[in-house]
Structure 1
Amino acid sequence: MENFMCKNEVMAPYLDKLGDRVVASSGIPSDRCHLGKLIFQSIKDDPDLVMQIDGRTGESETNASVLKRTIRCATAFRNLGVNTGDVIVLMGANHLDLAIPLYAALYQGIATATIDRTLLVGELEATFNNIKPKIVFCQSEKVSDVQKAIAQANLNSKVISFDATPDAMTFSKMMGTYGEEIDVNDFKLADFDPQETIAYLVSTSGTTGLPKSAIITHMNMSIGGGYIFPQAKQFPPVRSVLIVAPLQWLSALVNFVMGPIFQYGRIQSSVPVLTTPHILELIKKYEPRFMISSPPMMTALMKANCDFSCYDVLYLGGSAVPREMIEELRGLNPKTYIVDVYGMSEVGSMALANNACPLGSSGKPMAHIKYKLVDVDTGKEVTEPHKRGELWIQIPGYFKGYYNNPEATAEVLTEDKWFKTGDMMYRDEEWNFFFVERIKLLLKYKNHQISPVELEAVIRQHPGVSDVAVTSLTDPDDGDLPVACVVQRPGFQVTADEIKNLVKEKLTDTKHLRGGVMFLNELPLTQSTKVHRRKLKELVAAKKEELL
């Protein structure tokens, strides 16, 4: 495997030099993995760089301004009694204030939980009961729900509203009342062990149930985040990124964290809901160079004839990426580096490097991660190519598990610290890994396993299909009966029989659409624009009389 591992030839040396400078200043060797000190030093290095732009308002902010405000916020945390090891919650829009407590918390060793700002009171109560935050930052319209959830959880958490409201202290008032004006050279960041100190509590995708909070330490992110541009030939790797996801999703979080370290700017938007027309507007106005998109979002942008020519790098991920999508995008944008990326909340970044990989591959091993495939039936390691197994990995500092959830942790973490990804994969002779399916999403009809992804790939071959997701009806005797939920292309009249017959022509009898076909105007999506599999299954069950 070692001969095929991806080495980070440009970014790793830069991180080494930055870490050397931080350690030389503090005298603490482990500080090369202290995210707060790395960000602080990198921001100081280029004070005039525009770190962030709010595409809704047109406002922008430089590194110098961010540095000044994060110092004030960090001192406010100290004066409010929020210290290393404590937890804060961020559930705001992608405005310019959102990053300030995020970085201030990193300075102080405070864990940040980024959660879905659409959660209802009961969901918030369950989340707060689990993480027990000292402060919850939110928008004014959510203050009442947050306060109710805190009361029901019997907590004393402080509520801070990013915008004006008579019902809670505002962010600006917190900064003015509790923050201090300290010179950059006099401000001292907290010292702590980066291997053990939590940087983030990242919500797992929650497409099949309630989210869990994956623990990401400073070491996990500082090393793993350094590999987000394995193909980079220069520094900085890009000049700007367009954020098209809320902060609780890894694609946004990793750019909020690594952008300041790698000195590229961030274009985001504080709109309540990020629509396709607004994204098109942002791309046209700001010409970003980098974006991470889910396949459903990319489908919408392509349908709208988006001009991607400004991009140097486009990553697609979060769910299975159709091969045809990559081929079409590359054909339209030959100068853009376009790949399918494989990452997960529990790793805190990308888990495979997809440079110089064949089309359809999820990537090659990275030098800082250990890998193995394990047979899900026997528990034995798969050592030969082209044989399927569950991907297990070990990351630097190890995955610490799910916050205050030992049962969920025990399900995915072995005694010797191997993390079970839940993804079925295989590899070729050159250690290119290929994603097959989420094991939990595999359907089982009469003891025959069925991959929704395989069915979706076949159905997408129909020229009238814009998008598709496969779920199932549950039969007490036969198990899962596959159901195709189809979104038609404008101008086409696709019939259920056409879809069923296409599957019959391409796949064996056990994989046929015995549950039927449902036509939808759009697929239900999560906040990070992945297909919401649980909601899709609930929709099909509720409307099974409409199945064709």
Structure 2
Amino acid sequence: MNKEITYRIMKYHKHASDAVFWYLNELGSRVVAKTGIPSDRHHLGKLILQSLKDAPDFVMQVDGGTGKSDTFQDALKRSVACANAFRAIGLKADDVIVLMASNHNDLAISAYAALYLGLIVAGVDMTLGIKELEDAFTITSPKVIFCESEKAQDVAEACRNLKLYARIVTFSNGGKYNSFSEFLAKYGNNSSVEEFKAADLDPEKSSCWLLSTSGTTGAPKYATLTHTNIIMGFPNLWIMSSTFPTPVRSALVTSPVQWLSAIFTLILSPILRFTRIQSSLTVTREHAYYLINKYKPTYAIFSPPMATTLTKPEECDKCDFSCFKTLLLGGSAVLQTLLENVKKIATEAEVYVVYGFSEIGSFAFNFVSPAPGSVGRPLAYLQHRLIDPDTQEDILEPNKTGELWVKGPVIFKGYYKNPEATAETFLNDGWIKSGDLFYRDENWNYFFVDRLKMLLKYRNHQISPTEIESVIIKHPGVLDVAVTGIPDNDCGDLAVACVVPQANCTVTAQEIKDLVKESLTDMKQLRGGVIFMKQLPLTSTSKVNRAVLKKIVRDMKRE
């Protein structure tokens, strides 16, 4: 068999690999051999400590905004100093620290220190206003808040309003509050790296991360993940790889610390030994192109809005995407047109569509070699059910839509300090509701339909906005689109398309309506009209903010 044919087989007929789990088993066994505690194989802090010691000269992270980098040895010394500082100021297990900053190299250092000690890390959106910060701090009750210096006054005011005492540490020098380097110098020099011992804890019960849910249709909550949740779920990002450590050379990080995709790479880069390419600057399209062209990352996870931005036709020739070998697209619905656009520019990459949600802290399906349009087949560590939303009965036949329910060891602990929301999501026997609609085919490939809460109802027919969007996005003059509904007393919801045109393209409302009419049945037509917008409203996780969109379309001109 010649090399070209072999390459094609490897590229287009890949199979999932268990190699990442074998590697983690070996790493965990070495940790347990030193500590004598069997459960330490799931202790994230001890796994990270061991990994940083294993390869001291390996470059762990690069800040493309400053050009500064950290080796594993650098990260080990500073994270141990930070852990000593946490102990010196009296932090104890289950205390919360908040991270709300861009991707500085110091961000990971404080997170690792927290994981060593059994603290809980909460990522908070750095763009929140004072009232929103009050809401976040009311839930999390942080002891230490790490933030940008320009955000410190807002953080302080939110804490004062809540009568909350929290130490504020900034990621730059100067000003009223300790900088990160000053914090380490003042409190972190109590012991050497060799003398440092991570705290003992029960990984199955110990919370380690508060993950803000998306909030596209309601108020945000914080999903509580344990050490065991993460170490059993996160490795499924790497089932397409068979070489460990270092399954990829480097991973580009464009998402902020409150996103699951950022947490994936932050925790796994020392454990699996790859370099994170990130930036303390705002990651605009131009800056993302700079990072890709300069550092040539081989791996990335992109949200659909970021992928749409990077693949903009009149701009994407400024960037060489051939460095990528693996790209994952997820976080919200990935339309087929977007998937094809990414494949056109990243010609050397395997491009996968992935599906997961905060409450499982990972992916729900084996995304390697799925059927076209599918998010994959069930993963072995999760049980899956499709439930009829109306009858609450199991759907056993293929090609019928139902809500996805899952059960397994990666299921989150619950919503932090929110027993009511936890009770609504959990069922008595350990199953949780995803809130997402799927169907499966005869071969157990699962296909995403829509968010259950996003469905429109026209004359008692349920309409999927995603289905209409997938038609409209095919118009060559459309850059982005979101479909929502306006209320009608007689019919229920009238579908309205919010369209962002391509630059220098002319597209009319009638063209959009005609396209939908040619492709979809009568009940799915745009009876609410078409609205042209410069951009769609987004949540802090770069998903379309459906709640805001539903409000603003009522007052906008519809064609």
Q: What band does the TM-score fall into relative to the shorter chain?
A: over 0.9
Partner residue in 2 for 1:68: 77
Partner residue in 2 for 1:345: 358
Query: 1:174, CA displacement in angstroms?
Result: 1.5
CA distance in 2, matches of 1:339, 1:28: 38
What TM-score do you get using the length of structure 2 for normalisation?
0.94
Partner amino acid for 1:99? Answer: A
User: Helix, strand or coil for the counterpart of 1:22?
Assistant: helix
Residue deviations 1:463-521 (CA, integer Å, cap 9, x gap): 22121111121223432211101111233211111111221222122211111101112
Partner residue in 2 for 1:210: 219
**Residues 361 and 411 of structure 2 are in contact (CA less than 8 Å); yes or no, is this contact kept in structure 1?**
no
Query: 1:116, CA displacement in angstroms?
Result: 0.3
- CA RMSD between the two structures: 1.5
CA distance in 1, matches of 2:503, 2:121: 43
**Residues 372 and 393 of structure 1 are in contact (CA less than 8 Å); yes or no, is this contact kept in structure 2?**
yes
User: Helix, strand or coil for the counterpart of 2:277?
Assistant: strand
CA distance in 1, matches of 2:295, 2:411: 39
CA distance in 2, matches of 1:54, 1:316: 23
CA distance in 2, matches of 1:7, 1:240: 21
Instruction: Tell me, yes or no, if structure 1 residue 296 matches structure 2 residue 305.
Output: yes
Q: 1:457 aligns with which of 460, 465, 470?
A: 470
Q: 1:184 aligns with which of 193, 209, 212?
A: 193
Q: 1:172 aligns with which of 181, 184, 193?
A: 181
Instruction: Tell me, yes or no, if structure 1 residue 409 matches structure 2 residue 422.
Output: yes
Instruction: Tell me, yes or no, if structure 1 residue 197 matches structure 2 residue 206.
Output: yes
Partner amino acid for 1:547? Answer: R
Residue deviations 1:116-166 (CA, integer Å, cap 9, x gap): 011111111111111111111111111111111112222211111222343
Partner residue in 2 for 1:505: 518
Map of 1:439-450 to 2, 5 A cutoff?
439-450=452-463
Partner residue in 1 for 2:288: 279
Query: 1:105, CA displacement in angstroms?
Result: 0.3
Partner amino acid for 2:376? Answer: G
Deviates more, 1:31-40 or 1:329-338: 329-338
Partner residue in 2 for 1:356: 369
User: Helix, strand or coil for the counterpart of 2:434?
Assistant: strand
CA distance in 2, matches of 1:443, 1:507: 15
Residue deviations 1:340-393 (CA, integer Å, cap 9, x gap): 011211111222121011121111211222211111111111222222111111
Structure 1 residues 355, 7: closer, same or farther in 2, change over 3 A?
A: closer
**Residues 486 and 496 of structure 2 are in contact (CA less than 8 Å); yes or no, is this contact kept in structure 1?**
yes
Q: 2:65 aligns with which of 56, 81, 103?
A: 56
Partner residue in 1 for 2:483: 470
Partner residue in 1 for 2:273: 263
CA distance in 1, matches of 2:64, 2:424: 42
**Residues 323 and 359 of structure 1 are in contact (CA less than 8 Å); yes or no, is this contact kept in structure 2?**
no
Partner residue in 2 for 1:151: 160
Query: 1:457, CA displacement in angstroms?
Result: 0.8
User: Helix, strand or coil for the counterpart of 2:484?
Assistant: strand
Partner residue in 2 for 1:240: 250
**Residues 64 and 277 of structure 2 are in contact (CA less than 8 Å); yes or no, is this contact kept in structure 1?**
yes
**Residues 361 and 410 of structure 2 are in contact (CA less than 8 Å); yes or no, is this contact kept in structure 1?**
no
CA distance in 2, matches of 1:213, 1:350: 18
CA distance in 1, matches of 2:28, 2:372: 35
Query: 1:334, CA displacement in angstroms?
Result: 4.3
Residue deviations 1:12-55 (CA, integer Å, cap 9, x gap): 10000001111111111111111111111111111111111111
User: Helix, strand or coil for the counterpart of 1:257?
Assistant: helix
Partner residue in 2 for 1:437: 450
Partner amino acid for 1:519? Answer: F
- Percent pairwise identity: 50
Structure 1 residues 27, 253: closer, same or farther in 2, change over 3 A?
A: same
CA distance in 1, matches of 2:322, 2:344: 12
Partner amino acid for 1:256? Answer: L
User: Helix, strand or coil for the counterpart of 2:288?
Assistant: helix
Deviates more, 1:392-401 or 1:12-21: 392-401
Deviates more, 1:324-333 or 1:88-97: 324-333
Q: 1:94 aligns with which of 87, 96, 103?
A: 103
CA distance in 2, matches of 1:295, 1:383: 31
Residue deviations 1:280-319 (CA, integer Å, cap 9, x gap): 0110000000011111211221112243110010011111
Runs of 4+ in 1 over 6 A off after TM superposition: none
Q: 2:259 aligns with which of 230, 234, 249?
A: 249
Residue deviations 1:50-84 (CA, integer Å, cap 9, x gap): 11111111111101000000000001111111111
**Residues 220 and 395 of structure 1 are in contact (CA less than 8 Å); yes or no, is this contact kept in structure 2?**
no
Instruction: Tell me, yes or no, if structure 1 residue 47 matches structure 2 residue 40.
Output: no
Q: 1:223 aligns with which of 222, 229, 232?
A: 232
Residue deviations 1:319-342 (CA, integer Å, cap 9, x gap): 111112223433444431101011
Structure 1 residues 165, 207: closer, same or farther in 2, change over 3 A?
A: farther
User: Helix, strand or coil for the counterpart of 1:97?
Assistant: helix
Residue deviations 1:376-432 (CA, integer Å, cap 9, x gap): 111111222222111111231632111001111111111111110011001122221
Deviates more, 1:40-49 or 1:516-525: 516-525
Partner residue in 1 for 2:558: 547
CA distance in 1, matches of 2:231, 2:531: 45
Structure 1 unaligned segments of length 5 or more: list them. 1-5
Structure 1 residues 538, 171: closer, same or farther in 2, change over 3 A?
A: same
Deviates more, 1:348-357 or 1:220-229: 348-357
Query: 1:8, CA displacement in angstroms?
Result: 4.1
